[in-house]
Chains A and B, each alone.
Chain A
Amino acid sequence: MKNVFACIDGSRAAEAVCDAAAWASQRVDRQLVLLHVLDKSVYPTKTDMSGNLKLGTREHLLDELAELDAKRSKLALEAGKEQLKAAVERVKAQGIENPETRQRHGHFVETLAELQEETRILVLGRQGEDHDNPEEIGGNLESVIRSLSCRILITPPGFSQPEKVLLAYDGSTTAKKVLYIMARSPLCKGLPFHLLLVGEETEKNQQLLQEAKQEMEQEGHKDVVTAIRSGEVESALLGYREENDLGLIIMGAYGHSRIRQFLVGSTTTNLLRKSPVPILLMRQ
């Protein structure tokens, strides 16, 4: 049984993550797991430049480092427990009966990769506790998106349940898969869908959208709206979202090759930075 995982830390985003995860786990009717990762690589290292080796330096150094880590781990562990406790209360208030909590040692991204097998949806805040500038996206987020192939729901600070949903559709294989899954997923069942294609107003594009709409309707979705906008993908998406007051953006992630993405920057990354509403990334 795959679960909904919510990544909890001490940041402001944690509350939004709780809300989003509670919503998602209720929609898809799966166990909600609140996850806190103790990442040792964020601890600062201690420096002693004396450069000499005394009797038993190796043993002493090991004891010293272990003790230092032990203290930090204990503090981080306690803090994490508190954060998880607060998170449990928050999701319980929203009707989740028995949320599971989990604490893991390890590198953040690697830990998530290990849990991937049992993950149905991963819920993340846009930035973790190390960031203050709301314009930035967290340093780990991009690598999480890159290394995981599960569905990832990224929420900005302050989550409100979506009433209407925007699905970015371009007729590509990725987009078709996204459409196929979303048409059958209980996550957004019953919510009005807006299928937006960013490109020229051509017959071919119209037809693509019509086919997509039919597929959605066959699976019992009502109120499926289609639209075509020209211009830059990111501004067109965000502009259309604002006009129609849509509460969630669904899209396939990181289509470009890594090198190209490194040079020109990616639509996904920009969207993540600018979107005022949660984004559901699908890497199927």
Chain B
Amino acid sequence: MIQSIKQNWFSNVRGDLLAGIVVALALIPEAIAFSIIAGVDPKVGLYASFCMAVVIAFTGGRPGMISAATGAMALLMVTLVREHGLEYLLAATVLTGILQIVAGYLKLGSLMRFVSRSVVTGFVNALAILIFMAQLPELTNVTWHVYAMTLAGLGIIYLFPYVPMIGKLLPSPLVCIVALTAVAMIWGIDIRTVGDMGELPDTLPIFLWPDVPLNLETLMIILPYSLMLMVVGLLESMMTATIVDDLTDTKSDKNRECKGQGIANTVVGFFGGMAGCAMIGQSIINIKSGGRTRLSSLAAGVFLLLLVVFLADWLTIIPMAALVAVMIMVSIGTFSWGSIINLKKHPLSTNIVMVTTVVVVVATHNLAIGVFVGVLLAAMFFANKVGHYMRVSKSINAEGTVRTYKVAGQVFFASSSQFMESFDFKEVVDKVVIDLTSAHFWDITAVESLDRVIIKLRREGAEVELVGLNEASETLVDRFGVHDDPREVEKLMGGH
């Protein structure tokens, strides 16, 4: 245990602390921006990010991953906040946490294996597009100053790292924010600032019971949102965990991460924060900056709190243009540009899954629905593909009295009609042999088709013999089959 504490916390202290600072600085603009997306005061996102990062450092299953207030979650809360207000959001956040803890105990993290690569890519791309779209209100009906500052901000973010010496030592998004704030102050440009968007934190977060009536009505209001938040939160967390696994070449405990996310969200709700989850962009920044262990997440949270509480007055004068520049960077960094190049290389079905996921998400502003549609589509494409792995070859004996059908491959709902069509019921023979040695019967649809084939052949007066039901098929046929029971025959063929 002592060894694992050392390994998980103190094996990379310098890298973790430095990365924690970088991440904390990067979290400030994101937390503010996501609060604005959700329609709440910036302090709600900042408290959420602080609590999330600190709690998940202890409870999470993936050391080195950063969790905080995220865009994916913020997008799901918009209507709840608009129609019912902040207190209901806090209650929904607590419920989300509880649902995630339950999901962790039910080991739902393993369900991630049904989410295919293209759905993940679609999710990431859709998220990037939504984050970008969320910045558009800041860029419409504004003076040219805002456009100039946003462009200058992007210039600083992308070009500053090339400055020799200091380029790799100072986070360029921070440089962008400081420079644009300074410019706005010196020239007294009258543009929107963070202070105009709502309240910033002035104290440490305090424990508060969400001010909602504890009754069924409240539950019915928040439950649909909590379910969506739970699904999206876990999905993004699991995806990010996989990315961090790959980057660091280490393993993570996905079910522990589910529970950890749940505990963190429960705590966040009670401390006045909005629901959050793991952040792809921040986790990558953390790894890139040298963060590896739980200490990096803890450091990010603590630094964030210190910065926010002591710099609150300064945060209010940050021009929104600087924030928009940072968020455009986040969306560019989140988007999987490789997936566009890969469109040419990948098979059409994969592309359809990816693009559909993106389109559905962008249309509904709901990542959960997009992923659901994507997974469903991917499963259908897969079933269709595997359905092609079925072939029935025919042969007949010299006298023309015994017909043999040899079935090979997978017989299930997607291929059963093709299976039935392969038999010639009008042919007059004494005996029909169906050789199933190299076939697999997967479900009742397949078994039922076989039964109908046999019954139909018998009706035409042929004797039917089944050979080589291999073990897998045999168990299925024994459990579902009816062809041995004459009473069942009429039932099955009743409509014919």
Contacts and interface: CB of A to CB of B under 8 A. Distances in A.
B338 A52 contact: no
B48 interface: no
Interface in A37-85: 40-41, 44-59, 61-62, 65-66, 69
Interface stretch (B245-253, B365-373, B470-478): B245-253
A52 B19 contact: no
B298 interface: no
Contacts of A58: 243, 280, 284, 333, 336
Interface stretch (B51-59, B171-179, B219-227, B452-460): B171-179
B352 to A, nearest CB: 23
Given A45-B292, A56-B338, A50 B172 contact: yes
A143 B18 contact: no
Contacts of A59: 338
Interface in B77-132: none
B330 A53 contact: yes
A46 B290 contact: yes
A125 to B, nearest CB: 18
A47 B167 contact: no
B15 A56 contact: no
Nearest to A50: B161
B146 interface: no
A95 B452 CA distance: 74
A49 B168 contact: yes
B247 A47 contact: no
B165 interface: no
Contacts of B337: 55-56
A142 B2 CA distance: 10
Given A51-B25, A61-B284, A69 B171 contact: no
Interface residues of B, number: 47
A131 interface: no
A45 B26 contact: no
Nearest to B25: A51
Nearest to B335: A55
A146 interface: yes
Contact of B11 (A41, A51, A54, A258): A41
B289 interface: yes
A61 B247 contact: yes
A142 B332 CA distance: 47
Which of B22, B168, B288: most chain A Cβ within 10 A? B288
A50 B171 contact: yes
- Give the interface residue-count category, chain A: 20 to 34
A142 B3 CA distance: 9
Interface string B1-21: 111000100011001001100
A112 B158 CA distance: 46
A40 B332 contact: no
A147 B333 CA distance: 42
The dominant DSSP class at the B interface is helix
B183 interface: no
A254 to B, nearest CB: 12
Contacts of B2: 142-143, 258, 262
A204 to B, nearest CB: 36
Interface in B213-268: 243, 246-249
A233 to B, nearest CB: 22
B297 to A, nearest CB: 15
Contact of B247 (A51, A52, A62): A62
Contacts of A146: 3
Interface string A105-124: 00101000000000000000
A262 B5 CA distance: 14
B287 interface: yes
A49 B330 contact: no
Interface string B313-352: 0000000000000000110111011100000000000000
A127 to B, nearest CB: 16
A147 B2 CA distance: 11
A248 B390 CA distance: 69
Interface string B152-174: 00000110110000011111111
B12 A57 contact: no
A40 B1 CA distance: 20
B281 interface: yes
Given A51-B174, A52-B157, A61-B284, A45 B15 contact: yes
B168 A57 contact: no
B249 A61 contact: no
Given A57-B288, A262-B2, A52 B329 contact: yes
A146 B174 CA distance: 46
Nearest to A105: B249
Which of A50, A57, A258: most chain B Cβ within 10 A? A50
Nearest to A69: B249
B3 A65 contact: no
Contacts of B25: 51
Contacts of B330: 53
Contacts of B329: 52-53
B331 to A, nearest CB: 9
A140 to B, nearest CB: 8
B12 A50 contact: no
22 contacts: A45-B15, A47-B289, A47-B290, A49-B171, A50-B171, A51-B171, A51-B288, A51-B289, A52-B285, A52-B329, A52-B333, A53-B330, A53-B333, A54-B158, A55-B337, A56-B338, A58-B243, A62-B247, A65-B248, A65-B287, A66-B249, A143-B3
Interface of B: 1-3, 7, 11-12, 15, 18-19, 22-23, 25-26, 157-158, 160-161, 167-174, 243, 246-249, 280-281, 284-285, 287-290, 292, 329-330, 332-334, 336-338
Given A46-B290, A51-B22, A58-B336, 8 more contacts: A41-B7, A50-B161, A50-B167, A53-B333, A55-B332, A55-B337, A62-B246, A143-B2
Interface of A: 40-41, 44-59, 61-62, 65-66, 69, 107, 109, 142-143, 146-147, 258, 262
The 3 closest A-B pairs by CB, nearest first: A53-B333, A51-B171, A47-B290
